[in-house]
Amino acid sequence: MMKISLSKIVDVLFLIMFIYFTSVQFNDSDSLLWIVVYALAGILAFISFIGKPVKMPARFLTTGLIIYLLFNTHLLTDWLNAGKPAFIDYEATFIKEAEQMRELLGTLIVLLVSLYYGFLKRRSP
């Protein structure tokens, strides 16, 4: 019987999630940036799934995301000053601050995954 590790299941779930995230970016005005960001996270999951070392690429991505977030902390205050418009819904929105919060949330998701691969995950045998 084939043994499937929890680590491999997590890799596949992350890979599916980021393929989906990437696929829904094509109609966005800044789609190229987010396609690249989500694709990089998906690539980390794939590299881990096939058993290759992923710590260093994940740490580089983590560093880049932290720098991006530091330069974009104003997005949170812009959203607060705009009256905290809803950003977690299924409707397209033309409210700039809501779209920026969605992007910030996406960045945080990728950051958490890159932290997992860069610092928490042990290499699979």
Contacts of 75 (CB under 8 A, 6+ apart): 97, 100, 101, 103, 104
Q: How far apart are CA 7 and CA 70, in angstroms?
A: 31
Burial of 78 by CB count in 10 Å (0-12 exposed, 13-18 middle, 19+ buried)?
Answer: middle
Query: What pLDDT does 1 receive?
Result: 60
Q: How far apart are CA 75 and CA 77, in angstroms?
A: 6
Query: What pLDDT does 93 receive?
Result: 57
Q: Global pTM?
A: 0.84
Contact 113, 45 (CB under 8 A): yes
Query: What pLDDT does 31 receive?
Result: 84
pLDDT below 70 — which residues of the chain? Answer: 1-2, 79, 82-98, 123-125
Contact 25, 31 (CB under 8 A): yes
Query: What pLDDT does 10 receive?
Result: 95
